[in-house]
Amino acid sequence: MVNIKYFQTGPDAPPPLVYEIKRKVRFDELDPLRIMWHGHYASFFEEARVALGDHYGIGYLDFSNNGVAIPLKKFHADYYAPLTYNETYTVRAVLHWNFAARLDYEFEILNKNNKLMTRGYTVHLMLDKDNNVLVSKPLFFEKFCQKWQKGLIK
């Protein structure tokens, strides 16, 4: 198993939030080498991130309805082995604790045998309705984080 730590958290940080989705490699996702085209992985990370956000009540619409945009700041992927046609796999999204007004997500793509195929991360900033970078968390997200830190979000 690859042991990469993309994000460091302090001793006061609660455990990360985790959510998984299952997918199957479709024919139209293959490249000429008959393996998953690398450019699709960004959308797989996004799909799992959206599912995590919706599951916990901190998705795109939750932020948007509170006047906050959460654009992508950084994307990174490490590829270890290719996915092939019709292969079933899991995309695991992990949201790490952060005291700042940003979202740190880590992702793992595992094949049906739980072999790590790809890992990566994204960082999202928070912007107000005028596209100014927020330096503190919006109130709705701060309330969510308080529950998370108390162990009330699992």
Domain architecture of the chain: domains with CATH:
17-149 (3.10.129.10)
Predicted local distance difference test score (pLDDT) of residue 2: 58
How are strands ordered across the β-sheet holding 116-125? Answer: 17-24, 88-96, 102-111, 116-125, 72-79
Residue 111 backbone phi and psi in degrees, to 5: -80, 180
Span 87-114, average pLDDT = 97
Q: What is the largest CA-CA distance in the chain?
A: 50
- Kindly give the residue spans of alpha helices, DSSP state H, lying in 3-151: 41-56, 60-65, 139-149
Predicted local distance difference test score (pLDDT) of residue 62: 97
pTM: 0.93
Query: For residue range 5-40, what is the model confidence (pLDDT) as tens digits?
Result: 899 888 889 999 999 999 999 999 999 999 988 999
Instruction: Determine the residue type at 101.
Output: A
